[in-house]
């Protein structure tokens, strides 16, 4: 039996579909009788290209069964691919699965709206997929006896559903994906790889599909085996743990980090969501050694939003954990927030943005609230009077976050996209101008909307403004226009004091060095430490010459009055290696060594030597 499986994922391969195939291959009958092909694309591809590749594969394969793995970012194009495939193959069963179709009531709605689909697999799919394969081979149960599905009775046209599936108790029952021919064919060419070590989450957050599911893990032997094999491929530079949080248990998280430290190459990095409940001195030390790229989903710091969020990590909890990260030279490389949560409001959102900013991340990633099927908020969407639009079901109005405030939040989000390109510049500028970060970001957003998009927010243009700001409408050329010229335009409008304007110009001149990973001041630190740092600088092939700045532009606390803006310093710098995110962002960060005031005798003159400018 020939089965075509289609997807559209951010990762190079679909973990979900590879898991289906791998689990089915453990069944001797299915291994012998199934011929499976996986086809798809990424959300960055033109939708028509993705659809055409699926249709072409179907024509070539002439499948007996066709399956689609549907997420919120792929649903529209896969709906259309299903429709086109149905026209070509009117009698071939079409199956949908994936997080976006897992709500039982919504699955019935989808069957009613989309006559092209016959069966929807709700929730975890490996066991259900194997049962469906046996059904179509004639060696299994009738559909009415297969748990975890909603389906269309072909004889009567009625829509039916079965009880929820029982989760796999032992995830090791899914053989390693690394042994599949599809993975063996690509693993020597791809730079990134995703790994799943457990399923479920104990948090139960109302916005999230992971919440509330039973937690189950792969064995440590299996995880170490797969992780070691992945790390052995030196072309793979980034590994993303596709788990709700890193580490099934605290002891497991530590074991994984020790393994990573012992086995990864210097230019390999890992990305995960840390479990802040696990943080202690040892774990932070291991995270530092492993060079982890940390994505922290704080989502909000608004107490009013926590009431509905069903999340145990409130601001008080965050305040207790962030100092521990700082102690070990760690920070959340990416702080993630949600714009428009029920119970939140614009002032609460501003405060959350400001809080995230002051943790000094490399990125503040704001996600407009997207109401996802099978989540707590989905079930209460009528109560919160939620209005949403677009493929991502982006919410633009709710009882506590009306449309006007969502637009303001969208403007702030534009500014945080600029921040992601120039985090060091933003940190120094906010300190220099003594303004709220969210205010700077909003001003950047307003200038961007007017100068780049050439849009004004009026009643007639509001639908377009709303969609451009909230509905994932940023193109590559938009991001490229979030540049220093945009900042100059904002400064020209907002800053009148000549001394502050001159200081801002100095920040612009030094902007690349402002992404400072470590700041060492030779005027106050022990000589041994500075001597070692200067020796590292003198040996570094990309070291800077000795440079001057009109004031200490690297320390946000150094400017307490306008007089501090005239205290010139000399410094040297060199790039340092820092973790990279899963999507390939590579922000060059520097170690800065402040030598002192110009013309002041330096104790490092021998090391500086001919490197002086």
Residue 208 is encoded by which pair of tokens? 């999230």
pLDDT in tens, 388-425: 999 999 999 999 999 999 999 999 999 999 999 999 99
Same domain membership, residue 155 and residue 15: yes
Q: How confident is the model at residue 204 (pLDDT cuts 50, 70, 90)?
A: confident
Q: Is 469 within 8 Å of 448 (Cβ atoms)?
A: no
SS3 content of the chain, % helix, strand, coil (to 5): 45, 15, 40
Mean pLDDT within 529-533: 93
Q: What are phi and psi of 552, to 5 degrees?
A: -75, 90
Residue 14: CATH number of its domain: 3.40.50.280
Same domain membership, residue 145 and residue 69: yes
Q: Mean pLDDT over all residues of the chain?
A: 91
Same domain membership, residue 6 and residue 153: yes
Q: What are phi and psi of 395, to 5 degrees?
A: -80, 125
pLDDT at 600 over 90: no
pLDDT at 157 over 90: no
pLDDT at 558 over 90: no
Q: If you write DSSP's letter for every residue of 179-197 in order, what string do you get? A: GSHHHHHHTTT-SEEEE--
Looking at 441, 466, 494, which one is the last position of a domain? 494
CA gap 438, 73 in Å, rounded? 28
Looking at 161, 178, 200, which one is the last position of a domain? 161
Q: If you write DSSP's letter for every residue of 485-502 in order, what string do you get? A: HHHHHHHHHH---HHHHH
CA dihedral 142, 148, 152, 154 (to 10 degrees): -10
pLDDT in tens, 334-346: 889 999 999 999 9
Same domain membership, residue 454 and residue 319: no
Same domain membership, residue 153 and residue 9: yes
Looking at 271, 300, 332, which one is the last position of a domain? 332
Would you tell me how many other CB atoms lie within 10 Å of the CB of residue 113?
A: 9
CA gap 89, 531 in Å, rounded? 73
Residue 321: CATH number of its domain: 3.80.30.20
Would you tell me how many other CB atoms lie within 10 Å of the CB of residue 36?
A: 22
CA-to-CA dists, residue 488 to 229, 421, 444, 447, 550, angstroms: 49, 15, 10, 11, 19
The region, left, alpha or beta by phi > 0 then psi within -120 to 50, assigned to residue 7 is beta
The region, left, alpha or beta by phi > 0 then psi within -120 to 50, assigned to residue 117 is beta
In a domain, residue 502? The reply is: no
Q: How confident is the model at residue 330 (pLDDT cuts 50, 70, 90)?
A: confident
Would you tell me how many other CB atoms lie within 10 Å of the CB of residue 48?
A: 10
CA gap 145, 141 in Å, rounded? 6
Same domain membership, residue 420 and residue 274: no
Q: If you write DSSP's letter for every residue of 505-563 in order, what string do you get? A: HHHHHTGGGGSEEEEEETTTS-HHHHHHHHHHHHH-TT---BEEESS-TT-TTS-SSGG
In a domain, residue 370? The reply is: yes
In a domain, residue 430? The reply is: yes
Q: Is 255 within 8 Å of 210 (Cβ atoms)?
A: no
Mean pLDDT within 527-538: 93
Helix (H), strand (E) at residue 78:
helix 75-88
pLDDT in tens, 72-127: 999 999 999 999 999 999 999 999 999 999 999 999 999 999 999 999 999 999 99
Same domain membership, residue 220 and residue 122: no
Residue 100's SS3 state is helix
CA-to-CA dists, residue 428 to 257, 437, 516, angstroms: 33, 11, 11
pLDDT at residue 582, as a whole number = 46
- DSSP letter at 211? B
CA gap 332, 323 in Å, rounded? 12
Total domains in the chain come to: 4
pLDDT at residue 319, as a whole number = 87
Question: What is the domain extent for residue 571?
Answer: 512-611
In a domain, residue 246? The reply is: yes
pLDDT at 316 over 90: no
CA gap 242, 193 in Å, rounded? 10
**Which residues, 6+ apart, have CB-to-CB distance to 429 below 8 Å?**
440, 487, 504, 507
Same domain membership, residue 222 and residue 154: no
E strand intervals along 242-391:
269-272, 292-299, 334-339, 363-368, 387-389
pLDDT in tens, 423-443: 999 999 999 999 999 999 999
Q: Is 508 within 8 Å of 550 (Cβ atoms)?
A: no
CA-to-CA dists, residue 119 to 93, 137, 370, 439, 477, angstroms: 8, 16, 25, 49, 40
Matching residue, tokens 């330096």 = 602
Same domain membership, residue 328 and residue 350: no
CA gap 494, 551 in Å, rounded? 22
In a domain, residue 113? The reply is: yes
pLDDT at residue 563, as a whole number = 77
pLDDT at 478 over 70: yes
pLDDT at residue 373, as a whole number = 93
Q: Which pairing describes strands 94-97 and 119-121: parallel, antiparallel, or unpaired?
A: parallel
Lowest mean pLDDT of 468-472, 480-484, 559-563, name the range.
559-563
In a domain, residue 168? The reply is: no
Same domain membership, residue 551 and residue 407: no
Same domain membership, residue 301 and residue 194: yes
In a domain, residue 583? The reply is: yes
pLDDT at residue 472, as a whole number = 65
Q: How confident is the model at residue 473 (pLDDT cuts 50, 70, 90)?
A: low
Q: Is the dihedral of CA 423, 424, 430, 431 positive or negative?
A: positive
In a domain, residue 501? The reply is: no
pLDDT at 561 over 80: no
pLDDT at residue 184, as a whole number = 94
Mean pLDDT within 295-311: 88
Same domain membership, residue 139 and residue 32: yes
């Amino acid at each position: 039996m020939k089965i075509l499986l289609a997807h559209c994922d951010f990762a190079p391969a679909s973990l979900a579909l590879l898991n289906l195939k791998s689990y089915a291959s453990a069944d001797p009958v299915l291994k012998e009788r199934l011929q499976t092909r996986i086809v798809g694309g990424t959300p960055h591809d033109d939708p028509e290209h993705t659809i055409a590749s699926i249709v072409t594969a179907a024509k070539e394969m002439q499948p007996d069964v066709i399956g689609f793995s549907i997420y919120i970012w792929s649903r529209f194009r896969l709906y259309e691919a299903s429709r086109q495939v149905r026209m070509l193959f009117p009698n071939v069963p079409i199956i949908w699965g994936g997080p976006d179709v897992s709500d039982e009531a919504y699955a019935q709605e989808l069957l009613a709206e989309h006559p092209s689909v016959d069966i929807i697999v709700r929730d975890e799919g490996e066991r259900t997929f194997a049962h469906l394969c046996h059904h179509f081979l004639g060696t299994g149960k009738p559909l009415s006896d297969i748990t975890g599905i909603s389906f269309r009775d072909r004889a009567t046209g009625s829509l039916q559903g079965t009880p929820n599936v029982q989760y796999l108790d032992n995830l090791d029952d899914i053989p390693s994906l690394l042994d599949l021919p599809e993975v063996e064919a690509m693993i020597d060419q791809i730079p990134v790889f995703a790994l799943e070590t457990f399923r479920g989450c104990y948090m139960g957050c109302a916005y999230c599909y992971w919440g509330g599911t039973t937690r189950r893990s792969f064995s440590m032997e299996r995880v170490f085996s797969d992780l070691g094999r992945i790390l052995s491929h030196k072309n793979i530079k980034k590994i993303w743990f596709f788990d709700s949080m890193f580490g099934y248990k605290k002891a497991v998280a530590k074991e994984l980090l020790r393994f990573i430290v012992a086995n990864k190459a210097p230019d390999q990095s890992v990305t995960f969501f840390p479990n802040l409940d696990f943080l202690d001195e040892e774990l932070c030390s291991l995270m530092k050694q492993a060079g982890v790229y940390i994505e922290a989903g704080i989502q909000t710091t608004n107490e009013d939003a926590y009431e509905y969020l069903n999340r145990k990590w409130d601001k008080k909890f965050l305040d207790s954990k962030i100092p521990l990260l700082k102690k070990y030279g760690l920070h959340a490389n990416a702080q993630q927030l949600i714009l428009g949560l029920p119970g939140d409001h614009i002032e609460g959102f501003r405060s959350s943005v400001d809080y995230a900013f002051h943790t000094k991340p490399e990125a503040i990633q704001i996600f407009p609230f997207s109401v996802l099927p099978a989540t707590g908020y989905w079930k209460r969407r009528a109560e919160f009077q939620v209005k949403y639009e677009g493929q991502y079901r982006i919410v633009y109005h709710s009882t506590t976050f009306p449309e006007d405030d969502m637009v303001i939040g969208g403007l702030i989000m534009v500014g945080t996209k600029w921040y992601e390109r120039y985090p060091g510049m933003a940190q120094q500028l906010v300190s220099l101008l003594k303004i709220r970060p969210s205010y700077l970001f909003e001003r950047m957003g307003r200038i961007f909307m007017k100068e780049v998009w050439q849009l004004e927010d009026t009643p007639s243009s509001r639908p377009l403004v709303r969609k451009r700001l909230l509905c994932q409408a940023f193109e590559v050329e938009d991001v490229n226009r979030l540049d220093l010229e945009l900042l100059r335009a904002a400064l020209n409008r907002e800053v009148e004091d000549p001394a502050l304007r001159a200081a801002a110009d100095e920040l612009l001149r030094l902007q690349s060095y402002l992404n400072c990973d470590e700041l060492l001041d030779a005027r106050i630190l022990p000589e041994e430490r500075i001597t070692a740092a200067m020796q590292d600088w003198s040996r570094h092939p990309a070291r800077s010459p000795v440079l001057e700045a009109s004031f200490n532009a690297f320390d946000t606390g150094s400017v307490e009055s306008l007089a501090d803006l005239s205290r010139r310093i000399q410094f040297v710098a060199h790039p340092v290696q820092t973790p990279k995110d899963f999507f390939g962002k590579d922000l060059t960060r520097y170690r800065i060594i402040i030598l002192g005031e110009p013309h002041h005798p330096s104790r490092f003159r021998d090391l500086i030597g001919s490197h002086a400018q």
